């Protein structure tokens, strides 16, 4: 059975949103957030120049970095594409307005959120890369991603249905809920740590090798808290095996464990190697995919039918 138009569009939008998070991570790791100093245009132009000689007269040519400018410009183009895809997803979702109105409502929420996200992107530039607004911008991207994933799952739930006992279902939901909670706590702590890094980098103008040393107790908590997440994911894998979870949950459990391992290793790598940009990007994109994996695990378990009467 082939995917219908809504399912194809919604899944494409979820993937494109992860790509946008990846590009946004590249922008931040490269320090290209002000590659375009104005918004919505870039150096007063809809298509930025490739050399300083073509800049409008009111802009300082010494501030022009073609790599930073075009990286930020591509980030904006991908953001516009996401806006169109979410709009299209919302429009097509009206086919479900009677059979499953939650899909239409959720798609509509994603549409409203992406409008706010577009406005917030402008505030990031106008604020001169305020750490707090950048953090809010990133969190909003994760919320949009989760909203789209839920809408996509609702439309695909018939294809992803499984049967498990009531006891197993409760266990799977409890364990995965704990993993999700710990992941979100780590995300919030990580954004606060990143803001401290921005202060060390942009305000105190410290060299890269001094960024980690400038972090306070919050970083110690973030680092130590990661062990709780590792333990919780270990419990997820254990209960999957003990309760003989269906193949879909088993695979998602192992995928979650792998993604947590990637987060752990890139976190260690950032500490040991003075926060290289490539690790920052992998850490951010890995977080987005990890949240998707846990949410999908919870949705499949939560919508499962029961094959045993309790």
Residues 208 and 152 in one domain: no
> Which pLDDT tens digits describe the chain residue by residue (310 residues)?
588 899 999 999 999 999 999 998 888 888 877 888 888 888 888 998 888 888 888 888 887 889 999 999 999 999 999 999 999 999 999 999 999 999 999 999 999 999 998 888 888 877 766 767 878 888 898 999 999 999 999 898 777 777 888 889 999 999 999 999 999 999 988 888 887 777 777 667 777 777 777 777 888 888 888 999 999 999 999 999 999 999 999 999 999 999 999 999 999 998 888 888 899 899 999 999 999 999 999 999 988 764 433 4
Residues 181 and 140 in one domain: no
| Total structural domains within the chain | 2
**Domain region containing 46:** 1-159
Res 241: pLDDT? 94
265: CATH: 1.20.120
Res 129: pLDDT? 64
Residues 189 and 245 in one domain: yes
Residues 5 and 153 in one domain: yes
| Distance (Å) of CA 64 to CA 48, 52, 54, 127 | 11, 6, 11, 19
Residues 17 and 51 in one domain: yes
Residues 52 and 105 in one domain: yes
Helix %, strand %, coil % of the chain (to 5): 75, 0, 20
Residues 3 and 152 in one domain: yes
Q: Are strands 163-164 and 305-306 parallel, antiparallel or unpaired?
A: parallel
Residues 110 and 166 in one domain: no
Q: What is the pTM of this model?
A: 0.88
Which residues make beta-bridge pairs with 306?
164
Task: Among 159, 193, 210, identify where a domain stops.
Answer: 159
- Residue 209 CB contacts under 8 Å (≥ 6 apart), including other chains: 274
Res 309: pLDDT? 39
| Distance (Å) of CA 225 to CA 31, 115, 221, 267 | 28, 34, 6, 12
Residues 167 and 66 in one domain: no
Do the Cβ atoms of 65 and 35 come closer than 8 Å?
yes
Task: Find the helix packing angle between 247-272 and 166-198, rounded to 10°.
Answer: 20
Residues 268 and 284 in one domain: yes
Task: Among 159, 188, 212, identify where a domain stops.
Answer: 159
Task: Among 159, 185, 209, identify where a domain stops.
Answer: 159
Residues 118 and 254 in one domain: no
Residues 142 and 241 in one domain: no
């Amino acid at each position: 059975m082939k995917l219908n138009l809504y399912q194809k569009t919604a899944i494409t939008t979820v993937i494109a949103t992860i790509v946008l998070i990846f590009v946004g991570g590249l922008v931040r790791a490269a320090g290209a957030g002000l590659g375009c100093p104005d918004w919505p245009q870039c150096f007063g132009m809809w298509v930025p120049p490739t050399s300083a000689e073509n800049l409008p007269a009111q802009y300082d040519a010494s501030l022009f970095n073609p790599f930073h400018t075009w990286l930020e410009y591509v980030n904006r183009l991908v953001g516009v594409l996401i806006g169109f895809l979410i709009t299209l997803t919302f429009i097509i979702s009206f086919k479900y307005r009677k059979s499953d109105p939650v899909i239409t409502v959720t798609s509509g929420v994603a549409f409203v959120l992406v409008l706010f996200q577009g406005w917030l992107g402008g505030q990031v530039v106008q604020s001169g890369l305020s750490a707090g607004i950048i953090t809010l911008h990133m969190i909003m991207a994760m919320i949009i991603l989760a909203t789209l994933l839920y809408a996509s799952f609702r439309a695909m739930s018939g294809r992803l249905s499984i049967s498990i006992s009531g006891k197993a279902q409760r266990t799977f939901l409890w364990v995965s809920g704990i993993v999700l909670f710990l992941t979100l706590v780590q995300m919030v702590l990580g954004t606060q740590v990143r803001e401290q890094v921005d202060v060390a980098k942009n305000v105190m103008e410290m060299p890269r090798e001094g960024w980690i040393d400038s972090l306070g107790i919050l970083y110690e908590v973030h680092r130590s808290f990661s062990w709780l997440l590792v333990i919780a994911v270990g419990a997820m894998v254990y209960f999957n095996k003990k309760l003989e979870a269906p193949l879909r949950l088993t695979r998602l459990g192992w995928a979650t464990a792998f993604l947590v391992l990637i987060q752990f290793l890139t976190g260690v790598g950032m500490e040991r190697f003075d926060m290289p940009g490539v690790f920052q990007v992998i850490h951010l994109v890995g977080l987005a995919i990890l949240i998707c994996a846990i949410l999908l695990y919870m949705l499949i378990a939560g919508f499962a039918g029961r094959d045993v009467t309790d």
